Amino acid sequence: MARVVVDVVMKPEILDPQGQAILNALGRLGIEGVSSVRQGKHFELEVADDVEDADLTKIADTLLANPVIEDFTIRR
Amino acid sequence: MSRPAVDTVEVAATSPSQSQPFKELGLNAEEYQRIKDILDRRPTSSELAMYSVMWSEHCSYKSSKVHLRQFGDKVPAEAKDILLVGMGENAGVVDVGHGLAVTFKIESHNHPSYVEPYQGAATGVGGIVRDILTMGARPVAVQDALRFGPANAPDTARVLPGVVAGIGGYGNCLGLPNVGGEISFDPSYLGNPLVNALCVGVLPADGIKLAKADGPGSHVVLFGARTGGDGIGGASVLASASFEAKGEKKRPAVQVGDPFAEKVLIECCLEIFAADLVTGIQDLGAAGLSCATTELAAAGTGGMDVDLDLAPLRDETLTPEEILMSESQERMMAVVTPENLEKFLEVCAMWEVTATVIGTVTDTGRLVMRWHGETIVDVPPRTLAHEGPVYERPVRRPYDQDALNGEHGNGLPRPKSGEQLRATALKLISSANLADKSWVTDQYDRYVLGNTVLAQPEDSGMIRLTDRALDGSGEADLGVAVSVDGNGRYTRLDPYAGAQLALAEAYRNVATTGARPLAVTNCLNFGSPEDPAVMWQFAEAVRGLADGCQQLGVPVTGGNVSFYNQTGSTPILPTPVIGVLGVIDDVSRRTPMALRGDGAQLYLLGDTRDEFGGSEWANVVHGFLGGRPPKVDLTREKLLADVLINASRDGLIDAAHDLSDGGLFVAVAEGCLRGEVGVRLVVPEGLDPFVFLFSESAGRAIVAVPRTEEVRFTDMCTARGLPATRIGVLDILESAIEVQGQFRLPLSELRTAWAATLPDLFG
Amino acid sequence: MAVRVGVVTFPGSLDDRDALRAVRLAGAEPVPLWHGEKWLSDVQAVVLPGGFSYGDYLRCGAIARFSPAMDSIVDGARQGMPVLGICNGFQVLCEAHLLPGALIRNRSQKFICRDQAVRIENAGTAWTADYEDGQQLVIPLKNAEGCYVADERTLDELEGSGRVVARYLDGNPNGSLRDIAGICNAEGNVVGLMPHPEHATDPLVGPGTDGLPFFSSVLRALVGAA
């Protein structure tokens, strides 16, 4: 068994109003130098050793992310 | 991982002098001693946790019970026929005919909404919906009464958007139309916002479910969400303590809601009710399992055995005390006979609702709970659920009450010229309390379930109950109408009258839309009951409400008390919020508020006096509160209601709108803006224009009467003794409100001023 | 024999009852379909209603698209069966790749409920045949995740081939690209629409009856084909 992490973020070309709202809020914290925020989702899966990469890609591609609007990365 | 040894009954019996943190849990020494007397030993820590939450102010109503008795004592005679379930159950139920009954109730979730606005408000909605569901009803609509600090205060910008998003987020996902409510702003609510949530449900008149555990051998089933660490000691303890003015704010675990879980729970329960699979049911709200088990066990045959380790958990590290105090949302407890259990569990499985048998009904008169085989609770349930402490708190008229009433504000400069009146009109209509609330209400789904006949900003929220188009039954569709109203400033000036004025307003609102008022619910928001001046306000308000309900012939069916709304030693304005429910035999005849009918005559019903105590004019223009609130005349309110209902039913009027905050001008402005029609107003003979436009005399409404019905309408008013004064004519070409001889205000200018306020403040 | 139009209920669907009512008002036989059952009980068209299926967990419609009923619906749609996805239903259709693009959070970040002016851009689909091209309607819009997005190429293709079915008028309520309120597939049998025509079928409880033709159109398409 091992932990697999899948991170999903909106594609850069999709307007992300939530990220924008967060960026605006950072200004109110008085912290400078942050020019962009994109919000996404972080999934942690407990996976048996015999689950193959192709399966993980399928999980990410079909369920965890919507490839029309999101990109994902998988880390074992 | 080693865990502390469980405090069992056996251990408690043999360690009488072990010190226990009863004070930290909110009990005083007398209450602790009384528990020891009841049990004949010291309580186990689980029992102590249970007593501490069940005997808290929020759950036991210990400071308010002696006053609330009046609602039961003063039930109007004419109401006894329609009242199927009165006070004391989860919600009251009234018979509305056609084999149907309606249940409704309003409840507060004030303190949690200050701490975490979104979740506080969301779980407030979730809680009241479950109260309605547990009566055996399908929830069909929600409303909410909200109060915040000054509209431009920084903390209001934190709290208001979160509360509104939470109410919308939870209610919209549940699929309940939000059909009304109110929002107002006042400095006294800064730090103590009020979130009062109301829900209405419908059920077959013979399908009422009660919270009792009957029949030894029946199963006790816990179903819905798993139990976690939400709100441990939250609502109960939090609502029984004020916030420190300067110190650390309380940061308990606020309950987190999952509206999807509640949606499937609703559908699951409704199927269970339709198949008659439960003999008793209770929702888990404040004090969670402690409350559900004790209340079920206390009613019915009087006993219950529970294996607490069977409760499905989200967090396996919870101790039994924590499980008993948890306020995890979206949970219910049912009593199911052995024959029905399998079917019950099947329905839950289909809806993917977790359901677990955790106990059995007995007739031992004891509630006994075991944990890993050892007895950790063995109590007489009635002592928790119904025999909590009852206090007769000291009551003392506030020292400043006479001075406040004496400062009648007659010296406040009044607008005299047409130009000044015009400026006052604009100032009022654009003030936060009176301005357009669409910024808020557009965040609520008003259409879901497809039966919303009227929704905000109409005078009542009206829901169609029967649907001839679907089942071909009857000649007309039955409907219910609900309105919630309150006025903290009137109540501060005179709590007895203020409560009656709130009742009158809600009653009037329901009648204005053509529905006959039937029943009352109330949410009583006050400061600390340990302050005799606050208790005086409370006692007077309850007395006023009980007397008023008796006079109007509408019973109080249930409600909620929220004490400790104060920061430091300054309480909020005493704010009883009253909900009135009415019924209309034919929803197609409802009276909307949009003034319409080119050439229709605008009539003012009722008497206008020079009454500005507690008015919006005094508040907005002069920041002043003093004098006495408008005169209460419940006989007049009844007459006005009768006329409005008859006029609606007989088709004599095109539109109607009641007068309240801001007086006539605001009512006319709202009606004209909604109907997109202008009006030429004439100040009645002998009446001062300022008084005519802005006085807040009660017992009044404006109606648009088509010329063809004018004689019939005025004859009816004359015959019944209701003053009806023609004050103007509607004109679709005249896109302005013109007050003859005084000023002309184009609708476009009016709309701009009225619609900009909330978006400018909240984005 | 009456035309049978199915309306699917997912856990969390909210406007299924209204869709069933609208189907009946339009003169067809409404058939409730449970998400968990694969077979479509011999219906000739399907409506995926509005609501919050699975609480909008993960993404709106992301879980509902995997239900057994959807397998049959996808097959049926590919064979020409008319399918209308309203609001959450539109989201499910996009997640199931029966329609291109996706629906994301409203630009304003807030839920919005309003009587929305809409123009029918294509009266040639199975669900819009009873309208005229360019006809303007008022139907309720109520959602928090109604912003339609797709890449430029897809948008151009939709516009170019007349696959934009409805467009917002009098202000874009949610930021949808090109003010798109509804689209269809290339064959015109699958339509996704954000606003709720089922709430505009009875003037007593809605802004009028402008929504009814969505439901009557499909009757004509099916009766004609029968």
CA distance B143 to B279: 30
CATH architecture of A2-75: 2-Layer Sandwich (3.30)
- Give burial (CB, 10 Å; 0-12/13-18/19+) of B332: buried
Name which residue leads in pLDDT, A32 or B334.
B334
**Coil, strand, or helix at residue B74?**
coil
Contact C175 A68 (CB under 8 A): no
Segment B499-513 shows an average pLDDT of 98
Distance from CA of A48 to the nearest CA of C (A): 23
Q: Does residue B247 register a pLDDT over 50?
A: no
DSSP string spanning C120-175? Answer: ES-TTSTTTTTS-TT-EEEEEEEESS-EEE--HHHHHHHHHTT-EEEEE-SS-SS-
Examine residue B342 and state whether it is found in any structural domain, yes or no.
yes
In the set C121, C145, C198, C199, the catalytic residue is C198
User: Could you tell me which chains touch chain A, where touching means 3 or more CB pairs under 8 A?
Assistant: C
What is the percentage of chain B residues whose pLDDT exceeds 70? 97
pLDDT tens digits, B639-650: 999 999 999 999
Residue ending a domain, among B360, B385, B410, is B385
Minimum-distance CB partner of B447 among C51, C54, C142: C142
pLDDT at residue number B233: 58
Could you give the ipTM of this predicted complex?
Answer: 0.95
All residues of chain B having their beta carbon less than 8 Å from the beta carbon of residue C60 are none
Residue B195's φ and ψ, nearest 5 degrees, are -125, 100
Per the model's pLDDT, the better-predicted residue between B597 and B313 turns out to be B313
Q: Note whether B479 and B488 are within 8 A (CB).
A: no
pLDDT at C95 over 60: yes
**Shortest alpha-carbon distance between residue B440 and chain C (Å):** 10
Whether residue C152 lies in the annotated active site: no
For residue B4, give the DSSP letter.
Answer: P
CA dihedral C217, C219, C220, C225 (to 10 degrees): 130
Q: Which of C25, C201, C202, C205 to mutate to test the interface with B (most CBs of B within 10 A)?
A: C205
In a domain, B95, yes or no: yes
Whole-number pLDDT of residue B4: 57
Within 8 A by CB and 6+ apart from C166, the residues are: C118, C119, C120, C121, C128, C180, C181, C182, C193, C195
pLDDT band at B186 (very low <50, low <70, confident <90, very high): very high
Judge: B448–C142 Cβ closer than 8 Å, yes or no.
yes
pLDDT tens sequence across C126-183? 999 999 999 999 999 999 999 999 999 999 999 999 999 999 999 999 999 999 999 9
Q: Cβ contacts (< 8 Å) between A14 and chain C: which residues?
A: 104, 149
Report CB contact under 8 Å: B447, C113: yes
Q: Is residue B73 part of a domain?
A: yes
Q: Which residues of C touch A17 (CB under 8 A)?
A: 105, 107, 109, 175
pLDDT of residue B24: 87
Which band of pLDDT confidence, cut at 50, 70 and 90, is reported for residue B698? very high
Compare B88 and B738 and report the one with higher pLDDT.
B738
A14 and C62: CB-CB below 8 Å? no
B567 is a domain residue: no
Residue A30: per-residue pLDDT: 79
**Position B242 pLDDT exceeds 60:** no
Instruction: Assign residue C64 the CATH number of its domain.
Output: 3.40.50.880
Closest CA of chain A from C136, distance in Å = 29
Q: How far is CA B96 from CA B48, B207, B660, in A?
A: 44, 14, 28
Encode pLDDT of C16-34 as tens digits: 999 999 999 999 999 999 9
φ/ψ of C151, rounded to 5, equals -75, 165
In the numeric block, the tokens 């605001």 are attached to B666
- Give the three-class secondary structure for B127: helix
Q: What is the tens place of the pLDDT at every residue in B124-158?
A: 999 999 999 999 999 999 999 999 999 999 999 99
Candidates C55, C142, C199; nearest CB to B450: C199
Q: How many C-beta atoms lie closer than 10 Å to residue A31's C-beta? A: 8
Say if residue B372's pLDDT is above 90: yes
Confidence bin at C225 (pLDDT 50/70/90): low
Contact present, B487 and B574 (Cβ < 8 Å): no
In the predicted model, what is the mean pLDDT of residues B67-71? 94
What's the farthest any 2 CA atoms get from each other in chain C? Answer: 47
Residue type, B40: D
pLDDT, residue A29, reads: 79
Instruction: Please give the pLDDT value at position B475.
Output: 83
For chain B, report the end-to-end CA distance as a whole number of angstroms: 51
Distance from CA of B261 to the nearest CA of C (A): 8
| Cross-chain CB nearest to C113 (options B260, B442, B469) | B442
Mean pLDDT of chain C: 95
Reported as a single tens digit per residue, the pLDDT across B344-359 is 999 999 999 999 999 9
Structure token pair of residue B203: 């059920």
Summarize the confidence of residues B517-526 as an average pLDDT: 97
| pLDDT value of position B79 | 86
Domain coverage including residue C39: 4-225
Task: Tell me what pLDDT residue B191 has.
Answer: 93
- Min mean pLDDT across A47-56, B4-13, B226-235, B377-386 is at B226-235
How far is the first Cα of chain C from the last one, in angstroms, to the nearest whole number? 10
Angstrom distance (rounded) from CA B584 to CA B515: 4
DSSP symbols for C29-45: EEEEEETT----TT-SE
Q: Which residues pair with B304 in a beta bridge?
A: B361, B367
Q: What is the pTM of this model?
A: 0.94
Question: Is A25 part of the contact surface with chain C (CB cutoff 8 Å)?
Answer: no
**In the predicted model, what is the mean pLDDT of residues B501-527?**
98
pLDDT confidence of B241, banded at 50, 70, 90?
low
Q: Where are the alpha helices (DSSP H) in B99-175?
A: 110-115, 117-133, 154-174
Measured distance CA(B745)–CA(B592) in Å, rounded: 24
Q: Write out the DSSP string of B549-615.
A: HHHHT--EEEEEEE---EETTEEPPPEEEEEEEEEES-GGG---SS---TTPEEEEES------TT-
Indicate the Cα dihedral angle B257, B261, B263, B264, nearest 10°. -170
CA-nearest of C47, C24, C183 to C118 is C183
Optimal mutation site among A6, A10, A15, interface C, most CBs of chain C within 10 A = A15
| Average pLDDT over chain B, rounded to an integer | 93
Number of domains in chain B: 2
SS3 B190: coil
User: Is residue B657 annotated as a catalytic residue, yes or no?
Assistant: no
Q: Counting one residue from A and one from C, how many pairs have CB atoms under 8 Å apart?
A: 30
Of A63, A64, A69, the CB nearest to C149: A69
Chains B and A touch (3+ CB pairs under 8 A): no
Bond prior to B457 in cis (omega within 30° of 0)? yes
C172 — alpha (psi -120 to 50), left (phi > 0) or beta? beta
- CB nearest C113 (choices: B173, B445, B470): B445
Low-confidence winner among B160-164, B244-248, B381-385, B756-760 (lowest mean pLDDT): B244-248
| Structure-block tokens of residue B226 | 């798993």
Name which of B172, B464, B470 is nearest C111 (Cβ-Cβ): B172
Number of domains in chain C: 1
Helix (H) or strand (E) holding C7: strand C4-9
pLDDT band, residue C41 (cuts 50/70/90):
confident
Interface touch C21/B469, C-beta < 8 Å: yes
Nearest to B637 by CA among B704, B700, B546: B700
Q: Whole-angstrom Cα distance, residue B616 to residue B695? A: 9
Nearest-CA distance B450 → chain C (Å): 6
State how far the Cα of B71 lies from the Cα of B549, in Å rounded to an integer. Answer: 8
A45–C contact, CB cutoff 8 A: no
Does B690 fall in a domain? yes
Cα distance between residue C112 and residue B168, in whole Å: 10
**Beta-strand runs (E) in B284-352:** 303-307, 331-336
Cβ contact (<8 Å) for C175 and A64? no
Average of per-residue pLDDT across C58-81 = 95
Active site residue C37: no
CATH number, domain with residue B661? 3.90.650.10
- pLDDT per residue as tens digits for the range B669-696: 999 999 999 999 999 999 999 999 999 9
Instruction: From the candidates C95, C121, C196, C199, give the one annotated as an active-site residue.
Output: C196
In contact, B460 and B509? CB cutoff 8 Å: yes
Q: Three-state secondary structure along C61-88?
A: CCCHHHCHHHHHHHHHHHCCCCEEEECH
Say what the pLDDT of residue B238 is: 44
CB B421 within 8 A of CB B739: yes
How many Å lie between the alpha carbon of A17 and the closest alpha carbon of chain C? Answer: 6
pLDDT of residue A44: 96
Cβ B334 vs Cβ B283: under 8 Å: no
For chain C, list the contacting chains (3+ Cβ pairs, <8 Å).
A, B
Q: Which residue has the tokens 């899948």?
A: A6
In order of B152, C25, C134, C168, the CA distances from C124 in angstroms are 51, 22, 12, 18
pLDDT digits (tens, 9 = 90+) for B615-637: 999 999 999 999 999 999 999 99
pLDDT band of B250, cuts 50, 70, 90 = very low
Q: Is C31 exposed, middle or buried (0-12, 13-18, 19+ CB in 10 A)?
A: buried
Q: State how far the Cα of B406 lies from the Cα of B415, in Å rounded to an integer.
A: 23
CA triple B167-B168-B169, angle to 5 deg: 95
CB contact set of C29 (below 8 Å; sequence gap of 6+):
C2, C3, C4, C5, C23
**Residue among C66, C102, C175 whose CB faces A69 most closely:** C102
Residue C195 has pLDDT above 70, yes or no: yes
Output the six-digit token pair for C56: 């909008």
Question: Within the 27-86 window of chain C, which residues sit less than 8 Å (CB to CB) from chain B?
Answer: 36, 51-52, 54-57
- Domain containing residue B270: 57-385
Closest CA to B425 of B714, B736, B45: B736
Q: Is residue B180, in this structure, part of any structural domain at all?
A: yes
Q: What pLDDT was estimated at residue B240?
A: 53
Structural element, H or E, at residue B260: helix B259-274
- If 0-12 CB within 10 Å is exposed, 13-18 middle and 19+ buried, where does residue B48 land? buried
Q: Residue B253's pLDDT is what?
A: 59
pLDDT digits (tens, 9 = 90+) for B555-569: 999 999 999 999 888
- pLDDT at residue number C54: 92
